[in-house]
Structure 1
Amino acid sequence: MNCSHCNSENTKKNGHTHYGKQNYLCHNCNRQFVEGGQDWFVNESDKILINKLLLERISLSGICRVCDVSQQWLLSYIKDLYKSLPDDLNADLTLPDIESYLGDRMDEEIGRIEVIKKIRLHYKSTFKYQIMR
């Protein structure tokens, strides 16, 4: 009997399923399989689709329905994706100088307020000119 995942002949009988079918264990990849059973492996194109759906913030149940995978498989897949991420997520962990940062933000805010004042003054003068006519 060949393994349905790695096609190895290094297998042994491993009990029966609850339906009474013979269960096998592969010594090379440590997977269990049933003779004549369906392959439940998710191919790479489906994994690419699942990655895109995860980025779209679709519910996990919705992804399971669309891609025809179990929620248990999807959760373990997400867990493996999370483990493969770098610890720091490539973030810059150095803090900016707080004095210069706040100074820059304050200058930006003052600039915004000055523009708003100029616009209001323009509308007031325009409105008064139209009333006087």
Structure 2
Amino acid sequence: MTTTIAKQYTRLLAIWPKDALRPNLPFTRAIEHRGLPFGVQPITHASEETSKSNTAAPSQLSSSLPPANLRLEQAQVNALFSLLEDRYSKKYVLSPGVLKPTSAPEYYTKLMEEIEKAPKKTWWEAKVDQWKMKIRWS
């Protein structure tokens, strides 16, 4: 059973989408941490290779963790796969009015545009946009 959980964690790490907004803090680190007691090898991060000397080796971490409840761990893996497959948004479909409130119908559309643009902005563009938000143009 533990090898099955290790394989599932490894598969999750391989297919989990990259976080464009916070590349320095990916969710895959949490998945790696959960999989360490089962023998899952962490994905090497380019930015972390320099800081590896400051952290404990994965074998040391996995030996210090308490043994996990296999049934609980399988439920955790299933929850991660359900998030990855977007089961809940398919099961509980939102009405169109939720994403287009009468007070600001374009709010979520503009928010998604900003989220898509954010990783591509330079530092200066981000600062200018931050200043624009503080000044009210009428």
TM-score band w.r.t. shorter chain: under 0.3
Pair member with larger Rg? 1
Bigger relative contact order, structure 1 or 2, given CA contacts below 8 A and separation 6+? 2
Higher helix share: 2
Please report the TM-score for the alignment, with normalisation by the length of structure 2: 0.22
